Structure 1
Amino acid sequence: MDNLTYTLRQLCDRNRDGSHATQGDRENSLKLMARQLKEAGFRQLKATSLNGKHVDALLGRWRNDGLSAGTLKNRLAHLRWWAEKVGKEGLISSSNDQLGIPKRVFVTNENKATEVQDKLDRISDAHVRISAELQRDFGLRREEATKFQPRYADRGDHLRIKGSWTKGGRERVIPITTPEQRATLDKAHKLVGEGSLIPAEKTYIEQRHVYDRQCKMAGLKHMHGLRHAYAQARYEALTGWKAPAAGGPSTQSLTPSQRLADFEARQTISRELGHERVEITKVYLGR
């Protein structure tokens, strides 16, 4: 256990604010922040080392990861708690608006899945290209698709995503149901064998920079639209009709039996994307 994680754990042990659930969520969130700061290149930190550059690094990481407004607010609450407990209350603005965090998730039925798919062939780096295809075909986040190890994850009829790759450290399972998914996995196996989609000579941070640079050169502002593509394809496979964001019927226009199928599909997709709330699927699928 590194020093920052250890001292944050001590901080949580000394300050038992809130319910047991709140305490558990806070400690998990702070452990994640410690790991992300380490991945960002910060070393030899302890809880009292927190300063503005660490806050900026975390906020930048979270924005790039395409987190929902609700998740951003939760993490900021835990970050403010940390700052308060080490005597740095004024380090983080109390206004989420000033930090560029929206008041709510903006949901429309506009399709964002088509914004990036036609640009994938502009990505020249083989590792980044397959990472992007995994995002499209399995709904993976950037970190998950970069750290992906096909030999470990491919279980024949499903993927097992390691907790160490995921947001919040939660493992999850994603079914393999299409020839396109199998073709992408076969390419990943061929490219890296027993390794990961981080080349042997690079660290995760170095490969993430390559990923970001390749996406920028391809004219892609971000790759979150690939998760939209997965969610919408999965929704159509589970329900038999297109999602509202892909031109399908709105939830309000569905029959009672269709609404049940819609809800069950959204539950499934939420789990496969690594979310805990069905509500978040409105961002991917429309409503």
Structure 2
Amino acid sequence: MTGGRVFIQHGTKGGRERIINELTENGKAAIEYAKAISGINNLIPNDHSEKQWIQKYYRITRAKGISKKECGASSHGCRHAYAQDRYEEITGFKAPCKYNSKKEFRKNAMTIAGEKWNKLNQDARQIIKAELGHGPDRDDVVSQYLGAI
């Protein structure tokens, strides 16, 4: 961690490098924990196989009430929530998926940000794609998290 940002090179899905900005205190604690238990160049502890680690992950998330059965949301749904929260942090307005129509979204974005709303939208999508580990050409994926305009 440097300057409030984290650069992750090893252990990510697909091996894609990631930069995470503006970590919360819980996020910082999670990263310190991951560093303490992780293997060399891998986020899986040396004493676990990948299968064991995945099973442990789902056991912990279920125990914390993060499951479709318990709260109606999956752990992957947390990625959607993160993306939508980050979008609002970056742009100052809610993600398109939070509105009933694209027209309603554009009207709100224009009211809040004026003519620069579209540039803010594009910049936010690029940042979020990188933070979630998707390439710059994966507009389709980020639109699944945020909604299309």
TM-score by length of 1: 0.39
Q: 1:168 aligns with which of 6, 11, 14?
A: 14
Structure 1 residues 223 and 193, CA gap change in structure 2 (3 angstroms): closer
1:280 alignment counterpart:
141
Task: Return the alpha-carbon distance in structure 1 between the equivalents of residues 80 and 55 of structure 2.
Answer: 23
Q: How many corresponding residue pairs?
A: 129
Q: Which residue of 1 aligns with 2:37?
A: 195
- 2:71 matched residue in structure 1: none
8 Å Cα contact 1:235-1:265 kept in structure 2 = yes
Pairwise CA distance, 1:160: 1.1
Single out whichever of 193-202 and 225-234 deviates more from structure 2: 193-202
Secondary structure of the 2:37 match is coil
Q: Does 1:155 align with 2:2?
A: yes
Q: Output aligned runs, 1:13-24, within 5 Å.
A: none
Corresponding residue of 2:55? 209
In the alignment, which of 69, 73, 86 is matched to residue 234 of structure 1?
A: 86
Alpha carbons of structure 1 residues 261 and 243: separation in structure 2 relative to 1, 3 Å: same
Distance in 2 between residues matched to 1:257 and 1:193, nearest whole Å:
40
SS in 2 for 1:160: strand
Q: Residue deviations 1:4-35, cap 9 Å, x none?
A: xxxxxxxxxxxxxxxxxxxxxxxxxxxxxxxx
What residue identity is the alignment partner of 2:93?
W
After TM superposition, give the deviation of residue 236 of structure 1 in Å.
0.8
Counterparts of 1:1-287 in structure 2, within 5 Å, are 154-162=1-9, 164-175=10-21, 177-178=22-23, 181-186=24-29, 188-189=31-32, 191=33, 194-196=36-38, 198-199=44-45, 201-217=47-63, 218=65, 220-221=67-68, 222-247=74-99, 250=102, 251-253=105-107, 254-255=109-110, 256-276=115-135, 277-287=138-148
Structure 1 unaligned regions, length at least 5 = 1-153
How large is the RMSD of aligned CA atoms in angstroms?
2.8
**Paired amino acid for 2:139:** V
Map Cα deviations across residues 52-86 of structure 1 (whole Å, 9 max, x no partner): xxxxxxxxxxxxxxxxxxxxxxxxxxxxxxxxxxx
Moved over 6 A (4+): none
Q: Where does structure 2 lack aligned partners over 5 or more consecutive residues?
A: 69-73
TM-fit CA distance, 1:286: 1.7
% same residue = 35
Max radius of gyration: which structure?
Answer: 1
The 1:258–1:219 alpha-carbon spacing in structure 2 relative to 1, beyond 3 Å, is closer
Instruction: Tell me how far apart the structure 2 counterparts of residues 155 and 204 of structure 1 sit (CA, whole Å).
Output: 29
Distance 1:263 1:219 in 2: 31
Q: 1:234 to 1:208 in 2, by over 3 A?
A: same
Equivalent residues of 1:242, 1:248 under 8 A apart: no
Q: State the Cα distance separating 1:240 from its structure 2 match.
A: 0.6
Q: Is the 8 A contact 1:158 1:173 kept in 2?
A: yes
